[in-house]
């Protein structure tokens, strides 16, 4: 009986631990945080002359902390809105699994730890990490229920990670870092408008409208096409040799151009069909395309310019 009781206690502890860990990952939006950290690492690999694994590790941990803090603060602020939407009502805070006070402590802890860790890389990296949290939580999040321009505001902290990797490697903020910023900045518009299109009805329940015209119309779809084109142009521009130490070979520029055209195809498809399914396809394509563009940049740096 004693052994059976002990085993039951162990199982209960394991279940509690797994549930707590699951709630933490949901609160910090682990999948999103990992993709953001990937962008930072890509930026670092593109910039660094020699690779320092300790800096990469600091960037991974510090980056996750900063993104996790932003997402946690976001869920605290939007707790009453999340209850209204199907996709968010089971999040840790609105479901009651995590209290607001606990989430706030986690958010503050992650912020402080993230800033300290990124500061160990260099002060500029910590500064931009802190700016991204502030803009995301204090400007972008409150604006979501007030104006579709929130997407424009949110694109700034969303574009920082790719640039952050360059700053971490070089401790400088030149034209190269700003071009990496611009790639991810313009990418976010078709990405988030596709999301806004997919979830338009659910967002309406909470008074959120992410679409530029506030409607699923041709004007919104056209803007996704235009911003995709601008993203492609910026992504291949370093082949010109006019972006300082940020280089791109002709072959890689062609490859990135093809990747961009795939994303453009899905943007045009949304414009032509105006359906939720076409928006879902664009959203998925945007995630894959950005990842591939970053990978091509890294491979180009390692095998052609190193």
- Domain locations in the chain? 14-172, 174-306
Per-residue pLDDT at 135? 95
Helices 30-47 and 150-170 cross at an angle (nearest 10°) of: 40
Residues 6+ apart with CB under 8 A from 266: 278, 281, 282, 285, 286
Q: How far apart are CA 64 and CA 23, in angstroms?
A: 16
Tokens 């300082």, residue located: 244
Integer distance in angstroms from the first to the last C-alpha of the chain? 66
Per-residue pLDDT at 240? 95
| Other beta carbons within 10 Å of 99 | 11
Mean pLDDT by 10 residues, the chain (306 residues): 58 70 94 94 95 95 96 96 94 95 96 97 96 95 94 95 96 94 97 96 93 95 97 97 94 97 98 97 97 97 80
Per-residue pLDDT at 18? 86
Q: How far apart are CA 117 and CA 58, in angstroms?
A: 6
Q: How far apart are CA 36 and CA 51, in angstroms?
A: 20
Structure-block tokens of residue 181 = 């910023």
CA distances from 60 to 111, 133, 171, 300 (A): 14, 16, 17, 22
Residues 6+ apart with CB under 8 A from 8: none
Residues 6+ apart with CB under 8 A from 303: none
Assess contact for 266 and 282: CB atoms under 8 A: yes
Per-residue pLDDT at 17? 78
The CATH number of the structural domain formed by 14-172 is: 1.10.357.140
Backbone angles phi, psi at 172, to 5 degrees: -135, 155
H/E stretch holding 28 reads none
Per-residue pLDDT at 4? 59
Assess contact for 149 and 27: CB atoms under 8 A: no
Assess contact for 143 and 150: CB atoms under 8 A: yes
């Amino acid at each position: 009986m004693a052994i059976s009781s002990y085993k039951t206690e162990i199982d209960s502890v394991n279940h509690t631990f797994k549930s707590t860990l699951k709630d933490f990952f949901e609160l910090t939006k682990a999948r999103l945080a990992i993709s953001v950290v990937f962008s930072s690492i890509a930026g670092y690999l593109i910039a660094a002359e020699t690779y320092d694994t300790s800096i990469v590790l600091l960037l991974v941990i510090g980056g996750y902390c900063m993104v996790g803090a932003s997402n946690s603060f976001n869920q605290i602020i939007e707790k009453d809105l999340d209850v209204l939407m199907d996709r968010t009502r089971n999040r840790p805070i609105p479901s009651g699994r995590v209290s607001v006070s606990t989430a706030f402590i986690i958010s503050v802890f992650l912020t402080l730890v993230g800033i300290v860790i990124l500061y160990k890389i260099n002060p500029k990296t910590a500064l931009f990490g802190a700016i991204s949290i502030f803009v995301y939580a204090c400007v972008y999040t409150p604006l979501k229920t007030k104006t579709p321009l929130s997407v424009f505001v949110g694109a700034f902290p969303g574009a920082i990670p790719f640039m952050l990797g360059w700053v971490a490697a070089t401790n400088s903020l030149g034209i190269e870092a700003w071009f990496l910023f611009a790639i991810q900045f313009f990418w976010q518009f078709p990405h988030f408008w596709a999301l806004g299109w997919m979830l338009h009805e659910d967002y309406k329940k909470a008074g959120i409208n992410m679409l530029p015209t506030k409607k699923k119309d041709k004007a919104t779809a056209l803007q996704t096409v235009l911003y995709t084109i601008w993203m492609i142009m910026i992504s291949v521009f370093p082949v010109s040799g006019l972006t300082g130490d940020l280089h791109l070979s002709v072959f890689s520029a062609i490859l990135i151009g093809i990747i961009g055209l795939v994303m453009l195809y899905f943007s045009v498809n949304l414009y032509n069909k105006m359906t939720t399914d076409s928006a879902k396809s664009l959203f998925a394509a945007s995630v894959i395309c950005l990842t591939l563009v970053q990978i091509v940049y890294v491979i180009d740096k390692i095998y052609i310019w190193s």
